[in-house]
Amino acid sequence: MIDSRAFHALSCGVYVVGAACEGLQAGCVVNTVTQVTATPAQLSVAVNKENVTMGVIRKAGFFSVAVLDESTPMELIGTFGFHSSSDTDKFAEWKSETDAQGMPCLVEHAVARFCVKVKQELDLGTHVLFVGEVLEAQAVGVQAPMTYAYYHQVKGGKTPPKASSYEPSSKETNKAENFQVKEAKSMSEEKRAEQVGWRCTVCGYIEWVDELPDDFKCPICGVGKEMFERVTRPV
């Protein structure tokens, strides 16, 4: 028996990993950074093979880690978690620095930063696990680091499909939220005691309007109107 709730009991943080090689800067949000040894200090990170970042880390032989704080805006998660480094220079959109190895490292909303030299990699099927030695480590922020549970429960965050912990059911309605998904209806059929909104099925963002314009794009992840589902909540 596999009870998916058991996986929810595993604690982890939210991180942006980055790397650069041959003029391409790549980075993505992960929840898979772990310290695996102290002497020497080594970190591991699992990155989806479909992420541009995986190939860039492999070529570069180094990666940066920024530990995100609890005040990290969803727009930052949207940039690094729901866009591709192949067509978006993610580090240009948020305050970043280049470390001594030439790797881009997010500064904005980072409570700690690491520069890691890859020592080993392990093929995990959908993901590659990189294990590397920490060359630099800095505690740079005073805010609390954001846990993955905080991201989901307080920030209302969703899990990108390429994440290690993605479950298809996580795209469905969160029962803890005080609204319901409904089939689209004309407004005349609606009771006005409900507020109508549209929820992005990719990242969870909700726009509380009766109708979305045809050219509407999600402000968090950038997908179009067709990826939104109708929701309501009591007013």
Contact residues: Fe ion, CB under 5 A: 200, 202-203, 205, 218, 220-221
Q: How far is the CB of 117 from Fe ion (least distance, A)?
A: 35
Q: How far is the CB of 177 from Fe ion (least distance, A)?
A: 16
Contacts of 94 (CB under 8 A, 6+ apart): 76, 79, 106, 107, 108, 109
Question: Backbone phi, then psi, for 154, in 5-degree steps?
Answer: -95, -40
Structure tokens at 99: 């470390």
**Locus of tokens 């993901």:** 127
Which residue, 76 or 203, has its beta carbon nearer to Fe ion?
Answer: 203
Which residue, 113 or 199, has its beta carbon nearer to Fe ion?
Answer: 199
Which residue, 104 or 157, has its beta carbon nearer to Fe ion?
Answer: 157
For residue 133, which of 31, 8, 42 has the smallest C-alpha distance?
Answer: 42
Which residue, 127 or 199, has its beta carbon nearer to Fe ion?
Answer: 199
Q: How far is the CB of 156 from Fe ion (least distance, A)?
A: 12
Which residue, 134 or 223, has its beta carbon nearer to Fe ion?
Answer: 223
Q: How far is the CB of 94 from Fe ion (least distance, A)?
A: 18
Asked whether the beta carbons of 10 and 62 are under 8 A apart, the reply is no
Q: Strands of the chain (E only): list them.
A: 15-21, 24-30, 34-38, 41-48, 62-68, 96-98, 104-106, 110-123, 127-139, 180-181, 194-200, 206-207, 228-234
3 state SS of 77: helix
d(CA 159, CA 40): 32
**Locus of tokens 């909303």:** 109
Q: How far is the CB of 168 from Fe ion (least distance, A)?
A: 17
Which residue, 20 or 200, has its beta carbon nearer to Fe ion?
Answer: 200
Q: How far is the CB of 14 from Fe ion (least distance, A)?
A: 17
DSSP state for residue 171 in the 8-state scheme:
G
